[in-house]
Structure 1
Amino acid sequence: MNQPLTSEAPTISTWYIDPDAEDAMADGHAPIWRHLIGLVPEKDLSRAAVLDFGCNQGGFLRHLHALRPFHKALGVDIARQSVDKANALKGNLPIQYQTDTKLAGWDGEFDIAFSHEVIYLVEDIAGHAADMMRVLKSGGVYYAVTGCHTDNPLWPAWRKLVAERTNTVVQDRSVTDYARIFAEAGFQVSARKLEFDGFVPYAPGGWTPDYATALDYYTQTKIVFRLVKS
């Protein structure tokens, strides 16, 4: 049975029903991660504690450390096999991975946090916002990226595909819904379009109906929220 992603959600085995899709997802996200890291104004993370919420196989934190080395990091995900692989791949990096998305015991721990295409799966988004407020230090920043929102013209088709291909339950929220909920939790909310400036591979049979739509999605539809704990 599909399970919602919440701070109290049980774990699942894999995100995708087809476990081979996990590796493909990480490969596809890598250029987006690098672009996101380039957008973040926090350049020196050498003393920073970093959180990746919805870390999957840990690829984002490995990319981040290669580009902007951090002091320590935690990645959390409800998918057990993904967390196992993340731990196997981390080598000697100062990263811990776990399936406990409640983040108990991490109050006031993190300087900066990230999530990439995760918040649209969080059933209790207000609870998630409160959790992120709790675990960030004063002045800490949470970058939450998503193109899966009801302002995306592809969303009616995508929500059906997500339900068919993954072990998760999707949620219907607009960009304004996210801004309002995080503001109500106490965050200073700002946002921008991701405006990916790299080359988008031609991948027929993917999530977009044609190549022009794929180009528009990565440049115009994906949103980066910058959420500051004041």
Structure 2
Amino acid sequence: MEQTYSTWHLNPTGEAVMEDIHTPYWRHFINVILERNLSDCTVLDFGCSRGGFLRLLNGMLPFCKGVGIDIASDSIDEAGKSVGDQPLSYHVTGDPSRFGSMFDIAFSYEVIYLLQDLSEHARQMKEALRENGVYYAVTGCHTESPLWNRRKEVIANSSSTRVPSYSPDDYIDAFAANGFDVTLRRFGFNDFAPPPTNRKFHPGILDALTYSADEKILFRFSKN
């Protein structure tokens, strides 16, 4: 769980605009997925918060339709205000299967570690994906992260739900047991980003760099 806030940057025309703190990481996420043409795809963002990921994705790899879901109604309300003429819709739910098998590709970014039942999430995601659909999920919150116990305490202090302690194998096993082919890689973030402001989560600068480069795992769950 990383702190969410906005920061100012200059766009290519030199205009100062406000950007979500996650944007550099989302951009990297989009750049490393295997699928490079989403023009005919229906896309899901699980745990979409205020909708920034789908807006960025549509700008980089335009898609046919995008759906964001989150259990936080305030965040969904904010996401809806920024839709404009983009092919996006946002819904208050934590169950992607309620839409039927309509998604070609799904994403989540630092969300699945909070789920209380990984197997149920895998089952729901399998129902939500079309044949040969793919789900990409990123998280650095797992027991092989050296500072996980410290970070778990920080997260728990700001969360209203129990924070599980999952190992990388727990994520792998839950999806494999539900019929997914599982592959994974280091997230490998290597671009510029603002220094961390939450020093409880990232005690030092190198902790933040190591977390995003080496400790975060990018899972690719492919529906058989």
- When normalised by structure 2's length, the TM-score is 0.89
CA contact (8 A) 1:72 1:95 kept: yes
Partner residue in 2 for 1:90: 83
* Counterpart residue type for residue 80 of structure 1: S
* Counterpart residue type for residue 137 of structure 2: A
CA offsets, 1:154-197, max 9 Å, x none?
11011111111233431110011111111001000000001001
Moved over 4 A (4+): none
Partner residue in 1 for 2:56: 63
Unmatched tracts of structure 2, length 5 or more: 8-18
Partner residue in 2 for 1:153: 146
Provide the aligned length of Structure 1 versus Structure 2: 212
CA positional deviation for 1:200: 3.6
CA positional deviation for 1:48: 0.2
Partner residue in 1 for 2:36: 43
* Structure 1 vs Structure 2 CA RMSD: 1.8
Partner residue in 1 for 2:202: 208
CA positional deviation for 1:130: 0.2
CA contact (8 A) 2:100 2:128 kept: yes
Partner residue in 2 for 1:121: 114
Higher strand share: 2
Partner residue in 2 for 1:3: none
SS of residue matched to 2:105? strand
Partner residue in 2 for 1:163: 156
CA positional deviation for 1:71: 0.2
**Aligned pair in 2 of structure 1 residues 123, 24: CA closer, same or farther (>3 Å)?**
farther
SS of residue matched to 2:96? coil
Identity %: 42
Partner residue in 1 for 2:213: 219
In 1: Cα distance, 2:35 partner to 2:21 partner = 24
**Aligned pair in 2 of structure 1 residues 191, 215: CA closer, same or farther (>3 Å)?**
same
Partner residue in 1 for 2:103: 110
In 2: Cα distance, 1:42 partner to 1:159 partner = 33
In 2: Cα distance, 1:186 partner to 1:117 partner = 23
In 2: Cα distance, 1:104 partner to 1:110 partner = 10
* Counterpart residue type for residue 100 of structure 1: T
Partner residue in 1 for 2:21: 28
Unmatched tracts of structure 1, length 5 or more: 1-14
CA offsets, 1:26-46, max 9 Å, x none?
822110100010001111111
- Higher relative contact order (CA closer than 8 Å, sequence separation 6+): 1
